[in-house]
Amino acid sequence: MQRKYIFITGGVVSSLGKGLTLASIAMLLEKKGFSIAMLKLDPYLNVDPGTMNPFEHGEVYVTDDGVETDLDLGHYYRYTTSPLSRASTATSGQIYDTVIKRERRGDYLGKTVQVIPHITDEIKNRIVHCGDVGVAEIVLVEIGGTIGDIESLPFLEAIRQFRYERPQDCLNIHMTYVPYLKAAGEVKTKPTQHSVQTLRSIGILPDLILCRSEVNLSSEIKEKISLFCNVPRESVFDEVDVNTSIYEVPLMLRKQGVDDAICKRLSLPTHPVDLSVWEDLLDKILHPKGTITVGIVGKYLDHKDAYKSVFEALHHGAIAAGYKLQIRAIESDKIPSQDELAGCDGYLVPGGFGERGWEGKLEAAHYCREKKIPYFGICLGMQVMVVEFARNVLGLPSANSTEMELATRDPIISLLNEQEEIEEKGGTMRLGAYPCLLREGSRAHAAYGTKSISERHRHRYEFNNKYKALAEEKGLLLSGIYEEGNLCEIAEVKDHPWMVGVQFHPEFKSRPTDPHPLFREFVQAMVEKKHG
């Protein structure tokens, strides 16, 4: 079969949910039996989002091969089985960097290097390469940003050329916002018309239009959009705000026949789709046994996407347990009192960098350890748990991480080159997948059901093995080890119902239909705590 390409663009406003929508479409195509690959093209000049402020950009998602990417790749992972790697993402910064390096080497043989054809050719190469790496029958490409943004123009020109070169193998989806004006009591199509006009002015004609709206669009409204946007009426779909869960989106699109319309346009066979697993998932969400509350102790909680994968993984665990999850945000900037912390069935301290909010997180770990309340520490949250244990159980009141206090007398968390018995020179970030061996009889081993695992990392500081013997003697079990570097990956407090910290990011490998083992067990511990 000739490989097919699907491009999705967005218009009117940002944050329409292109990534989630494309992931839902990809899932439907997988259910039809097609192999797929997914690519996010981001127009910003940063090489990757790794140095971006979470308040501005949301979380940084990490792939197995150690690439820091946009959070939309998290949607791709949760909805599909698409292989994700450095071939699944490209930014303007990466594209320009590649072209400029080639120019410096003389690869262009003295030619004038320009946006067209050199930048656009590199973008097209990335699109083809993504499909080659994933050995995909269909490649789905999301163009970041909004139509009209000047920084998106090279990407749009590239997909225009791509469609021109492969007219029978490409499909363009344009996602717009159709606002509902309460004062007028009607929806307005003019923003969509202008957005499509802008798209057409640069040579891209949409095949399908997906309309985000607060209300269902009438047949008359869809006919109007069809007429003014020059798209067949049967290719105009609405994507209404979901009632309960983002996991309703694939079912919504399937009900309208979006996947069949795509297959028809690309001359693909329209195999039946079995969504029974997804329907069972929605049934559990809509009919919970009860409610549990988790406290998230962090410093980026004002931005709902800063901990996107953590929130989703917690919901996955709750769905598996049959419960509705309420998330309570606890800002760690202000050291919370025990009264302010009280009232949750469990607490999670997610990853992060820097000393702001550090002492507040330590207070949360101290509260959970003393009150025997389930605690889950991820990355920095594990280091929080270890430092609190060192201060209050090991009798090391000055224990700290050298990230927070470089001259601390007891650096129980530090860079590798600060740990004398380890020769490896540190300071660089551990990124991507690393193997880990689990200690039999530990909570981690019971959760995973296997002795050897692989998880994704994004951190610099490590547990200091100089304190290993003392820590284990006093009841801190180092239950997961990366053998090659003799590094602690998982720590557990022995005499506690469920107090576990992990150096990696398990949230990146959780799916709604397959919750991550540690999130599943953490939620189960909360349920047991709630019901005594």
DSSP structure string for 335-373: ---HHHHTT-SEEEE----SSTTHHHHHHHHHHHHHHT-
Active-site residue, selected from the candidate residues 68, 122, 507, 521: 507
Q: Note the pLDDT of residue 144.
A: 93
Q: Which helix (H) or strand (E) holds 164?
A: helix 153-165
Compute φ and ψ for 4, nearest 5 degrees.
-110, 155
> Between the CA of residue 160 and those of 57, 157, 165, 415, 468, what are the distances in Å?
28, 5, 9, 48, 59
Nearest CA to 465 out of 532, 386, 520 is that of: 386
Task: Say whether 68 is catalytic.
Answer: no
Active-site residue, selected from the candidate residues 368, 379, 436, 488: 379
State both tokens at 243.
Answer: 């009632």
* Structure confidence by residue, pLDDT tens digits, 512-525: 999 999 999 999 99
DSSP state of 519: H
Q: Note the pLDDT of residue 88.
A: 96
DSSP state of 118: I
Contact 406, 414 (CB under 8 A): no
Cα separation, 300 vs 71, whole angstroms: 15
Q: Note the pLDDT of residue 420.
A: 54
CA angle 116, 121, 122 (to 5 degrees): 120
Those residues of the chain that have pLDDT short of 50 are 422-427
Q: Note the pLDDT of residue 428.
A: 64
Q: Which helix (H) or strand (E) holds 57?
A: helix 54-57
Whether residue 232 is preceded by a cis peptide bond, meaning omega within 30 degrees of 0, is no
Q: Which helix (H) or strand (E) holds 138?
A: strand 138-143
Task: Say whether 505 is catalytic.
Answer: yes
> Between the CA of residue 95 and those of 8, 159, 187, 330, 446, what are the distances in Å?
19, 15, 40, 40, 45
Q: Note the pLDDT of residue 48.
A: 87
Q: Note the pLDDT of residue 370.
A: 96
Task: Say whether 379 is catalytic.
Answer: yes
* Structure confidence by residue, pLDDT tens digits, 186-212: 899 999 999 999 999 999 999 999 999
Q: Note the pLDDT of residue 422.
A: 45
Handedness of CA 282, 283, 286, 287 (dihedral sign): negative
DSSP structure string for 423-475: -S---SPEEEEEEEEEPTTSHHHHHHSSSEEEEEEEES-EE-GGGHHHHHHTT
State both tokens at 370.
Answer: 């003393």
Q: Note the pLDDT of residue 458.
A: 94
Q: Note the pLDDT of residue 423.
A: 42
Residue ranges and CATH numbers for the domains of the chain are 4-281 (3.40.50.300), 289-530 (3.40.50.880)
Cα separation, 280 vs 180, whole angstroms: 32
pTM (predicted TM-score): 0.93
Active-site residue, selected from the candidate residues 118, 316, 496, 505: 505
State both tokens at 486.
Answer: 């003799």
